[in-house]
Amino acid sequence: MNGAKSLVDTLLGAGVDTCFANPGTSEMHFVAALDQNPGIRCVLGLHETVVTGMADGYWRLAGKPACTLLHCGPGLANGLANLHNARRARSGIVNIVGDQATYHRPHDAPLTADTEALARTVSSWVRTSTSAVDVGRDAAAAVQAARTHPGQIATLILPSDASWDEGGVPAQALPVPAASTIDVFAVRTAARVLRGDHGSAPGAGGARVLLLLAGQALSAAGQQLAWRVARATGAAVRADFVIGQMARGRGCPPIERVPYVTDQAVRALAGYDHLVLVGAKPPVGFFAYPGKPSTHYSPTAQLHVLARPEQDGLAALQALVDELGAPEVPAHDPGPRPLPERGAPTSEGLARTLAALLPEGAIVSDESVSYGRGIYPHTFAAAPHDWLHLAGGAIGDGLPVATGAAIGARAMGAGGRRVVSLQADGSAMYSLQALWTQARERLPCTTVLLNNRSYAILLGEYKGVGATPGPTAMDMLDLGRPALDWVKLAQGLGVEAARTTTLEGCADLLAASFRQPGPFLIDLVI
């Protein structure tokens, strides 16, 4: 048995049954091993950033890692942006990166690179297998690392001779480490703060307390536990801005995220004297701006960690509920679903249209960037669904994450769940090749392409640093001359598409797309 075959056998034994791939010469023996063992489903991406983004979306829905297949250091480099996003979303991925044969590397062939150095920028675990006998053992360790709570990037670098040489030995799956245990003292401290034992009572004109949620705490069960705490103590609840996934819609509390814009975030958090962090980090800005703070919470606020990201946030919230004796509360009633909107597209109108039409169990992949910041308040009455966010800020993850999420849902026996991408046009150009994979795999993906023919977020950022864009700046922020024809682009990649300039047209196209099994793109001119 060669090293490549031992790798496939080890991956299958550890529960990795999906490979998102863009292979090259150094990986041909691994490709052959995948061909000879049909247990791993292989999905082709036409660019490595699509491959890594699909693996991210897959983890978010399947809750288990897929592997990627990338070609040497440059192939890994092409996928780094979406591995950065996956790391921030705390997704588990096993990267298999082919590399030069160990004896060929000293000759400095053109594709030779410091692959380990590139991998460490986004990986929690990195290893190079230097012989066939090591490959199975190293692969088992990589899967164990990827599965470590709450999810990690693991990168296994595979020199081609370690792949083709005989002597491979499949390894048994290694035990998955449990989430770090909760801290009973942290639970008691949070309970004292929420009771008002810090000197004044929350919700009664005294100190105000905010529960800030991320990770597991944003599952439907986690939100309900946090809501019980809030109703029992008068505390407020928010989601961190930097989150990968959140359960939303009917049955979930009306929880907002911390705003992206610094001024809005500072205003939203200014009144809180205590922040209780549940899987979340203290809120900071994506960027610094002249004369504005880096941290968004009040400088006098006290921070209390109920659960770190590597701890079990659900168990921590349950322990806090028990410590407080917080009673059960009825599910929040957001009122009736709205009707689809009519007229010229607006962010709020699109949100209400989505709330009216989203099918139960839908998955929303949100890379709407600036256009989508006001969507949350208008979608609380939608059918229950999952919302996937761009967690790392590196644009270009929306379409790949949607594609991987659809495959992840299918892997979990829920292949009928509709995936809706809210996709900014500028960001879509980073990874539009994902549409081809959607067409090839016949995935139930609807893309709402928010077409304003510009990098709209950068116009706001330009003003945020105190500048007014002139002709040179506008040339770098404008996507006209020529305008991108998204209907033709989608059709060229095998995806049916149509353009509309109204919300009623968008509603009709959304409803029609939900009735068909494959992908569809709506070019919504805004």
Q: What pLDDT does 475 receive? A: 76
Which of 164, 194, 222 lies at the terminal end of a domain, its last residue? 164
In-domain check, residue 389: yes
In-domain check, residue 465: yes
CATH number for the domain including 438?
3.40.50.970
Q: What pLDDT does 471 receive? A: 80
Higher local confidence (pLDDT), 464 or 158: 158
Q: What pLDDT does 468 receive? A: 73
Q: Rounded CA gap, 200 and 285, in Å?
A: 30
Q: What percent of the chain lies above the pLDDT cut of 90? A: 89
Q: Are residues 155 and 266 in the same domain?
A: no
Q: Are residues 205 and 279 in the same domain?
A: yes
| pLDDT of residue 237 exceeding 50 | yes
In-domain check, residue 440: yes
- Tokens for 358? 């989203």
Q: Residue 71, SS3?
A: strand
Q: What pLDDT does 481 receive? A: 78
Local confidence band at 455 (pLDDT 50, 70, 90 cut-offs): low
Which of 121, 136, 164 lies at the terminal end of a domain, its last residue? 164
| pLDDT of residue 375 exceeding 60 | yes
Other C-beta atoms lying within 10 Å of the C-beta of residue 202: 23
What's the mean per-residue pLDDT of the chain?
A: 94
| pLDDT of residue 464 exceeding 80 | no
Question: H/E/C letters for each residue in 76-101?
Answer: HHHCHHHHHHHHHHCCCEEEEEEECC
Mean pLDDT score, 186-215: 80
Q: Are residues 283 and 232 in the same domain?
A: yes
- Tens digits of residue pLDDT in 133-163: 999 999 999 999 999 999 999 999 999 999 9
| pLDDT of residue 198 exceeding 60 | no
Q: Rounded CA gap, 77 and 117, in Å?
A: 10
Other C-beta atoms lying within 10 Å of the C-beta of residue 80: 17
- Dihedrals phi, psi of 523, to nearest 5 degrees: -85, 95
In-domain check, residue 174: no
Local confidence band at 449 (pLDDT 50, 70, 90 cut-offs): very high
Q: Are residues 196 and 224 in the same domain?
A: yes
Which of 108, 129, 164 lies at the terminal end of a domain, its last residue? 164
Q: What pLDDT does 479 receive? A: 77
Q: Helices 220-233 and 313-324 meet at what angle, rounded to 10?
A: 30
Q: Are residues 293 and 385 in the same domain?
A: no
| pLDDT of residue 271 exceeding 70 | yes
Greatest Cα-to-Cα distance within the chain, rounded to the nearest angstrom: 73
| pLDDT of residue 305 exceeding 70 | yes
Cβ atoms of 171 and 136 within 8 Å: the answer is yes
| pLDDT of residue 428 exceeding 60 | yes
40-49, 229-238, 461-470: which range is least confident on average? 461-470
- Tens digits of residue pLDDT in 386-398: 999 999 999 999 9
Cβ atoms of 405 and 58 within 8 Å: the answer is yes
In-domain check, residue 466: yes
CA dihedral 70, 76, 79, 85 (to 10 degrees): 120
Q: What pLDDT does 374 receive? A: 87
Give the ranges where 301-433 is alpha helix by DSSP (H). Answer: 313-324, 347-357, 398-411, 425-428
Q: Are residues 125 and 238 in the same domain?
A: no
- The number of distinct structural domains making up the chain is 3
Q: Are residues 368 and 504 in the same domain?
A: yes
Q: Are residues 200 and 147 in the same domain?
A: no
Q: Are residues 69 and 196 in the same domain?
A: no
Q: Rounded CA gap, 248 and 511, in Å?
A: 20
Q: What pLDDT does 469 receive? A: 73
Local confidence band at 199 (pLDDT 50, 70, 90 cut-offs): very low
Residue in the block written with tokens 């899987």? 279
In-domain check, residue 171: no
Q: Are residues 274 and 393 in the same domain?
A: no
Give the DSSP H/E element, type plus range, for residue 385: strand 385-389
Range of the domain at 74: 3-164
| pLDDT of residue 1 exceeding 60 | yes
Q: What pLDDT does 458 receive? A: 64
Measured CA angle at 339 (ends 336, 342), to 5 deg: 155
Local confidence band at 201 (pLDDT 50, 70, 90 cut-offs): very low
Q: Are residues 385 and 514 in the same domain?
A: yes
| pLDDT of residue 426 exceeding 60 | yes
In-domain check, residue 21: yes
Local confidence band at 205 (pLDDT 50, 70, 90 cut-offs): very low
Rama region for 515: left / alpha / beta (φ>0; ψ in -120 to 50; rest): alpha
In-domain check, residue 106: yes
Say whether the peptide bond before residue 23 is cis (omega within 30 degrees of 0): no
CATH number for the domain including 216?
3.40.50.1220
- Tens digits of residue pLDDT in 25-74: 999 999 999 999 889 999 999 999 999 999 999 999 999 999 999 999 99
Q: Rounded CA gap, 438 and 495, in Å?
A: 8
CA dihedral 138, 140, 142, 145 (to 10 degrees): -130
| pLDDT of residue 511 exceeding 60 | yes
Cβ atoms of 235 and 209 within 8 Å: the answer is yes
Q: Are residues 378 and 471 in the same domain?
A: yes
